Structure 1
């Protein structure tokens, strides 16, 4: 009798332990998304963009259903949640251009107009009567799908797809001298449609695609030293799924965030990068439709992601990510 009772009690506690362990598999990811203000222009992807004084500017892009290239310029003010159309971009309508901002001015250039890879560059001054001015052409080969970033008073542009294939060169632009200078580049694969983000005046660079292969290498660039250092590959941990192309990236409170994009289909997952540990952590995935070729920016410690495309549609919606909030499936 005692043995039988002991068996029943032991079975009960083993079952309870298994149930409690099973619950650990459902990990609650941090961060929550809410739908933001719809873009007032036509739905599109592959837009150039930059930020000035808390406002984000979108330039050009491409609508996949209609086959339309754009040269319009839009300003979004996240404080008032208003879109305002600005002066049209005076260059040829294009997709896959790059944008960056330095000292209160935006800069847009390179890209693809449907027939030609481009190398022209333009400066945008939101306070000027004529907002756009042509500047020195990009110093490298004409291309689309490059990356860009700015640190202090210089803009940087590199990689992309040119007439002779993918590139791995990088160039810096000085608005003071209106000149491009080639700089030392990373020791890794050529590619297009990669991402870059800046934390503490250092640029982090990776992802992208070359010859149909999605790249796993990841680097940090120090503009003071002029050097690139290798970081842990994006697949160093078997649980990571950061590798992709055509993604978005932004920085909040010293952490990098990378998400959406394309790899064996459009993506919606998002990852947080900690530069102090060189490790990635998955956060709550994008809650709009999965997409590639979107844009992103940050305002008051929240990330904004919008536009882009999937296999069927171009998008005009925007979503707002709060990394400090817990996921709420009802909002």
Structure 2
């Protein structure tokens, strides 16, 4: 058993070193284009959600203060506009998603408060540019959880509240009600990633008690069950899979039927980009993220383009934003 663990960690460490290079010489496909910098202050631990053709980004920390500002990104005009500030406490490591034209934000962490872990939950209505408080998250206060939307319901699970968690809860916006669903079958964790493809949510990566995790699960809301999509060393894609999910603090998005995992911490701050094809189970590596290596960024998809921005590397926060084009060749000048 110990020999197997050492072999696995050797692969993870090698993958992390490869991810820190500027561009993998053997990888030619996948190009990042720099877009307008986020117009708020530099930050990490922010949240984002999309409504129609707009993305909304806010909260986080600039390294000194917990922030409450929110901004809308118009990808067509490559333009940021400040919107109504978040009315709850500023925070990092919250969860966000959108349902039926409204955005939702909840949980998180603020060490300036008496109760540092947060469980409040808020709705943003873009038609009135206003926020309203909703029923508190059913699983209780926590941070570094993950969330997603499937079939007009929001889901939040995992995270940390003094204990690493693996429970999951479903939110019905029409009833403003939380219901517990089946817990993640894998390990407890915080700082995981999740993305949704064709009505199923995929959850993986993260860490538990300082250890990086390398399992990967799919949630089917029709059965409220979890399917094990972890790969093992007899798989053709095992090396790519292991390098992709053995990290925490990464971001993820979906484009054209594939899930993408970007950055995070894999022994060191990473620029790695990995794609997952659910129909074949294939994992593949794309050209590295062209911004600085980072964790605690935000990611979203607009008009079939994936965007990644903000985040941190050590004590340095970022405000740059990049769009990803997976089928284009790398171009260092765009």
Q: By the TM > 0.5 criterion, same fold?
A: yes
| Correspondence 1:301 to 2:299 | no
Q: How does 1:185-264 map to 2 (within 5 A)?
A: 185-233=183-231, 237-239=238-240, 240-242=242-244, 243-264=246-267
Aligned residues: 303
3-state SS of 1:70 partner: coil
Number of the residue aligned with 1:125: 125
Structure with greater Cα Rg: 1
RMSD: 1.5
Residue 58 of structure 1, CA deviation: 1.1
Q: 2:91 aligns with which of 91, 94, 101?
A: 94
Displacement, 1:279? 2.0
- Structure-1 residue corresponding to 2:79: 82
Q: What's the TM-score, normalizing by structure 1?
A: 0.89
Structure 1 residue 234, shift from structure 2 partner = 7.9
Residue 44 of structure 2 is matched in structure 1 by 45
Structure 1 unmatched runs, 5+? 1-24
CA distance, structure 1, for counterparts of residue 219 and residue 28 of structure 2: 30
Q: Which runs of 5+ in 2 are unaligned?
A: 1-23
CA distance in 2, matches of 1:75, 1:305: 15
| In structure 2, distance between residues paired with 1:112 and 1:51 | 22
Counterparts of 2:142 and 2:295, CA distance in 1:
19
C-alpha distance in 2 between matches for 1:60 and 1:47:
5
Aligned to 1:321: 324
CA contact (8 A) 1:47 1:295 kept: yes
SS, match of residue 241 in structure 1? helix
Alignment match, 2:12? none
How far apart, CA to CA, are the structure 2 residues paired with 1:188 and 1:284? 30
Q: Write the deviation string for residues 196-255 of structure 1: whole angstroms up to 9, x where unpaired.
A: 000001000000010000000100001011110101248762354111000010111101
Is the CA contact (8 Å cut-off) linking 2:106 and 2:137 kept in structure 1?
Answer: yes
> In 2, distance between residues paired with 1:151 and 1:179?
16
Residue aligning to 1:13: none
Relative contact order, CA 8 A, sep 6+: which one is greater?
Answer: 2
Aligned-partner Cα distance in 2 for 1:282–1:26: 12
SS in 2 for 1:56: strand
* CA drift at 1:26: 4.7
| Structure 1 residue runs of 4 or more that deviate by more than 6 Å after TM superposition | none
Q: Deviations over 1:169-219 (max 9, x none)?
A: 000000111000000022111000000000001000000010000000100
In structure 2, what is the Cα distance between the partners aligned to 1:26 and 1:36?
Answer: 25
Partners of 2:48 and 2:232 in 1: CA distance: 26
**Counterpart-to-counterpart distance in 2, 1:36 and 1:288:** 11
